[in-house]
Chains A and B, each alone.
Chain A
Amino acid sequence: MAALGARGWLRGSAAAVPSRLWRAAPALWGRRARGQDAAAGSSDTRPAFTDEAVQNLLYKMTGLNLQKVFRPVKKELKPPKYKLMTEAQLEEATRKAIEEAKEKLRMPPVLNEREPIDDILAEDKILEGTETTKYVFTDLTYSIPHRERFIVVREPSGVLRKASWEERDRMIQIFFPKEGRRVIPPVIFKDEHLATVFQQDRHEDILNMCIAQFEPDSPDYIRVHHRTYDDIEKHAKYDLLRSTRHFGGMVWYLVNRKKTDGLLIDMLHRDLLDDTTSLITLYHMLHPECQSAKEAKEGKLQGVDLIKVFVKSESQKEGYIQLALQAYQEAVATSTAS
């Protein structure tokens, strides 16, 4: 076993043996288990983010603005390509573009924060005072998933402990680098620099960078996402995330915390009645014990009535929503009249 400086690596000796043992009994650990809420599933009354009904509603609300999804980006300059197409070919190309856009709009997972790791495996007092640095031992077997990789740290005091989540992420990035991810997270994700980002309306970019840099259940990922959603909700900049893959996560966050008023007003201003009904349906799915949910279920309300019932009982900014609703109805009336 050769150990060098602050990092070491094993050549298939001690730490590989436990992973082989664990892999021999895969049924015990459920190696292909789907996330933390796999066990909850249908037995839990509260719907999860991954439920099909929820995903359909969120996808409908995200919208599909092809111009925004495939907008031009800064890259190497090349001469433009022109294609002459018939109507049928154009429809075919649009259909393909819509499929690609659906793939691009696939929502990143929303998970709970992971539990910190702080297990001590051994205490070797005899090693105390022999070294001045920590040694990190990483299992580099290529075929195991990163979540099953053993990474341990030997402290100068002789204690052998499991590496914490941040140390794990750093080591895995050093040995198995992923594109767009840095070993040490950039300074931009700290709270004081996020303010600069929000001032420039770069919410989508910072969320894309966050997905590239952090794991979905890391506290930094969750913190950055929550700060972004809070800022959007504070300044009502919902349109920045519409037609992106982050819109579903934002709606899920807002509905769970019952902060849907701003979003409702924004949708009414843009005349998106279907989106308002989807939002209210989702709200009732997540909070079935509230007043308007019961009324809606009894009366099987649709459209504007649903909104009215919702506004009466659940919203804080009742006046604004009534106003927006009135304006929408007038707009509909004038457009149908003319």
Chain B
Amino acid sequence: MALARSVALLRWAAGGLRGPVRARRPLWAQVAPGALARPRSTEAAPDVPAEPPAFDAAARYKDKPWEYLETEEYQATYGDKPVWFGYRRNHKGSVPPQKTRKTCLRKGKSVGNPCPICRDRNLFLDFRNVKLLDQFICPHSGVVYHPTITTGVCMKQHKLLTKAIEKARDHGLLWLQVPYVEAPRDDYGTRHPAVSKTPPAPELLRGASWYPWYDWHQPPAAAVARLRRIYKAYLKEDGPPA
């Protein structure tokens, strides 16, 4: 399978080029797309003025992320392949770790070899750009591809991806195979007192209080007198009744 894949890659690399044929490095050897405009060194060049905030390329597709998938830039970078095609994780040994890295961006700095979504800053995982989300779902069985085995995205992006896919399914933009629940056979009577009208208790109807002791009742005179005799030393002159 590895041989077939590498053959397919070579064929794509050799024959898939459209437009002016120039000596172009294959996709996975290129600089991360969208990174060319980003300054490489950490020290800001003092002579170059900062980009005006009115034209911020990164946030351009934030509101309408599906527009990026129609642009020439996207077509030139990815062609017809999914965005994760050709991405290769760097790890020691032949068996990759069961989970991809936790995140590609720590404190604003990206790691070397960022994952397919983090490396292109115009890609946004939104529940509305269904074309991008479809690239991460198998067209035959409907499962979301595993990040370790197939796509190589970092765990944070994978979590956002699953959330976006679930939200798209909730809004009707993506469709799972609807489970077949057979037509219900139970009787739907509403005559049992659990679900039908119970006549309210007579106290509620009359407007009287629920327990008789909710209302104030004058205590028997003998009890009041007894208490007054016991606490004679502490009684104030007016002695409130309550």
Which residues of A line the B interface, CB within 8 A? 18-19, 22, 29-36, 38, 73-77, 103-104, 106-109, 111, 114-115, 117, 119-126, 145-151, 162, 165, 168, 178-181, 186-188, 193-194, 196-197, 200, 202, 205-206, 208-209, 211-212, 215-217, 245
Query: In the assembled complex, which residues on chain B have CB atoms less than 8 Å from the CB atom of A126?
Result: 211, 214
Q: Are A188 and B210 in contact (CB under 8 A)?
A: no
Report the Cα distance A215→B184, complex, angstroms: 9
Q: Are A73 and B181 in contact (CB under 8 A)?
A: no
Cβ proximity bits B66-101 to A, threshold 8 Å, 1 near / 0 not: 000000000000000000000000000000000000
A22-B200 in contact given A77-B140, A186-B170, A196-B173 (Cβ < 8 Å): no
The residue of chain A having its C-beta at the shortest distance from the C-beta of B187 within the complex is A34
Find B142's partner among A75, A212, A217 (CB 8 Å cutoff).
Answer: A75
Report the Cα distance A118→B195, complex, angstroms: 10
19 new A-B contacts at CB < 8 Å, known A106-B182, A119-B197, A202-B172:
A31-B192, A34-B187, A35-B187, A35-B189, A75-B141, A77-B140, A109-B184, A122-B210, A147-B187, A147-B190, A165-B195, A180-B178, A180-B181, A196-B171, A208-B178, A211-B181, A211-B183, A211-B184, A215-B188
Query: In the assembled complex, which residues on chain B have CB atoms less than 8 Å from the CB atom of A35?
Result: 187-189
Size range of the chain B interface in the assembly: 35 or more
Is the C-beta of B201 less than 8 angstroms from some C-beta in chain A?
Answer: yes
Q: Are B171 and A188 in contact (CB under 8 A)?
A: yes
A30-B191 in contact given A180-B179, A193-B171 (Cβ < 8 Å): yes
Query: In the assembled complex, which residues on chain A have CB atoms less than 8 Å from the CB atom of B210?
Result: 122-125
Q: Are B189 and A147 in contact (CB under 8 A)?
A: yes
- Tell me whether chain B's interface is mostly helix, strand or loop, or mixed: loop
Report the Cα distance A29→B198, complex, angstroms: 13
Q: Are A193 and B193 in contact (CB under 8 A)?
A: no
Q: Are A32 and B178 in contact (CB under 8 A)?
A: no
Query: In the assembled complex, which residues on chain A have CB atoms less than 8 Å from the CB atom of B196?
Result: 115, 117
Which residues of B line the A interface, CB within 8 A? 140-142, 170-173, 175, 177-184, 186-198, 200-201, 204, 209-211, 214
Find B188's partner among A147, A178, A202 (CB 8 Å cutoff).
Answer: A147
Min distance, Cβ A37 to any Cβ of chain B, angstroms: 10
Query: In the assembled complex, which residues on chain B have CB atoms less than 8 Å from the CB atom of A74?
Result: 140-142, 177
Query: In the assembled complex, which residues on chain B have CB atoms less than 8 Å from the CB atom of A194?
Result: 172
Report the Cα distance A166→B140, complex, angstroms: 37
Query: In the assembled complex, which residues on chain B have CB atoms less than 8 Å from the CB atom of A18?
Result: 193
Min distance, Cβ B194 to any Cβ of chain A, angstroms: 5
Min distance, Cβ B8 to any Cβ of chain A, angstroms: 20
Report the Cα distance A158→B175, complex, angstroms: 45
Report the Cα distance A123→B214, complex, angstroms: 11
Q: Are B186 and A208 in contact (CB under 8 A)?
A: no
The residue of chain B having its C-beta at the shortest distance from the C-beta of A74 within the complex is B142
